[in-house]
């Protein structure tokens, strides 16, 4: 008695005569599980085929798991670019790591691709602007600001503002604010203050270096900290700006706030 397969693909001991083989049409058990699948070679083939399918499904499952794990990691540790043209971008990268993000230095417009957010560090806004304008980086940044969170510190705030004074200069116009450059005086007038802010956790150290002053803000701008009545830490949706240098203090609350903003935008 010939043993029949109890389920397709399971190889059994079947010996068929040549005539029997010829009589039975070759059918694909995957397409037609009910049909006769008695061809010995074909069953062997089916076994092999099933093994390959199972292998492929396992690989797909594994890839899916890896992608999910990657997405979860990326959500918890967003990829944040730091404009690394001039200024203290290295301290920002370090601060971002400490705040739970994965920083990446950006020097070309192409470097913006795939980022979850971006930091525009302090430095000399005119120098940074000149570089941006030479490489059509400015337009790429403008486009980026329209869809991803961005955090400007000091010169970075000048680049983000709607209007720049003293002297006037071109800006991205994504922060509804008017900014006056070097408003607190010269380098020698740079100062470190500690003051209460809207952030939980007590007073915050704020390092001001030839800082700009935010002299006007639009209705959509939330002020989180002030100096002499003028806003020094603000946010407007996915745009954040600090006229001081949070990356130069040990306190990571400001960077953490930005990382949280980026993570929240990433989930949307
Ligand atoms: N004074 C600089 C400017 O106007 C900003 C200073 C800074 O980023 N620390 O661009």
Q: What is the pLDDT of residue 52?
A: 83
- Split at pLDDT 50, 70, 90, the class of 267 is low
Least trusted range by pLDDT, from 8-22, 111-125, 207-221: 8-22
For the Cβ of 206 lying below 6 angstroms from any atom of ligand 1, the answer is no
* Per-residue pLDDT tens digits for 195-238: 999 999 999 999 999 999 999 999 999 999 999 999 999 999 99
E runs forming strands in 24-160? 79-83, 102-106, 117-120, 150-153
Q: Is the CB of 241 under 6 A from ligand 1?
A: no
Tell me which residue of 99, 105, 104, 135 sits closest to 260, measured CA to CA: 99
CA distances to 55, 70, 80, 222 from 58, in Å: 5, 18, 33, 50
What are the distances in angstroms from CA 147 to CA 6, 120, 144?
57, 16, 6
Per residue in 176-204, pLDDT (tens digit) is 999 999 998 776 678 999 999 999 999 99
Instruction: Show the tokens assigned to 28.
Output: 């694909």
Do residues 234 and 214 make contact, with C-beta atoms less than 8 angstroms apart?
A: yes
9 lines ligand 1 (CB under 6 A): no
Active site residue 245: yes
**What distance in angstroms lies between residue 84's CA and the mean position of ligand 1's atoms?**
15
Q: Which atom of ligand 1 is nearest to the CA of 87?
A: 8
Ligand 1 within 6 A of CB of 155: yes
Residue 210: name the closest of 98, 88, 91 by CA.
88
CA 146 – ligand 1 centroid, Å = 24
* CA–CA separation, 105 and 83 (whole Å): 6
How close is the Cα of 207 to the center of ligand 1, in Å?
A: 12
Tell which atom from ligand 1 comes closest to the C-alpha of 209. Answer: 9
For residue 247, indicate whether it is catalytic. yes
The one catalytic residue among 145, 154, 235, 255: 154
pTM of full prediction above 0.75: yes
For residue 144, the surrounding DSSP H or E stretch is helix 137-145
Give residue 165 CA to ligand 1 midpoint distance, Å.
13
């Amino acid at each position: 008695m010939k043993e029949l397969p109890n389920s397709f693909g399971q190889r059994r001991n079947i010996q068929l005569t040549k005539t029997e083989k010829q009589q039975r049409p070759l059918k694909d058990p995957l397409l037609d599980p009910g049909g006769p699948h008695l061809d010995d070679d074909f069953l062997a083939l089916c076994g092999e085929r099933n093994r390959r399918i199972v292998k492929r499904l396992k690989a797909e499952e594994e890839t899916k798991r890896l992608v999910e794990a990657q997405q979860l990691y990326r959500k918890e540790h967003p990829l944040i670019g730091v404009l690394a043209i001039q200024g203290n971008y290295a301290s920002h990268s370090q601060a971002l790591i400490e705040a739970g993000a994965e920083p990446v230095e950006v020097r070309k417009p192409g470097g913006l691709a795939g980022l979850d957010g971006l930091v525009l560090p302090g430095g000399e806004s005119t120098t940074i602007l000149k570089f941006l304008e030479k490489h059509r980086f400015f337009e790429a940044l403008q486009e980026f600001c329209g869809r991803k969170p961005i955090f400007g510190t000091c010169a970075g705030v000048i680049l983000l503002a709607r209007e720049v004074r003293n002297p006037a200069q071109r800006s991205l116009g994504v922060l509804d604010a008017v900014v006056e450059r070097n408003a607190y005086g010269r380098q020698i007038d740079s100062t470190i203050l500690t003051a209460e802010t809207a952030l939980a956790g007590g007073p915050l150290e704020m390092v001001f270096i030839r800082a700009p002053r935010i002299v006007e803000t639009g209705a959509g701008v939330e002020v989180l900290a002030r100096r002499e009545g003028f806003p020094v830490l603000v946010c407007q949706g996915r745009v954040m700006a600090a006229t001081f240098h949070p990356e130069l203090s040990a306190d990571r609350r400001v960077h953490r706030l930005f990382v949280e903003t980026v993570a929240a935008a990433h989930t949307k």
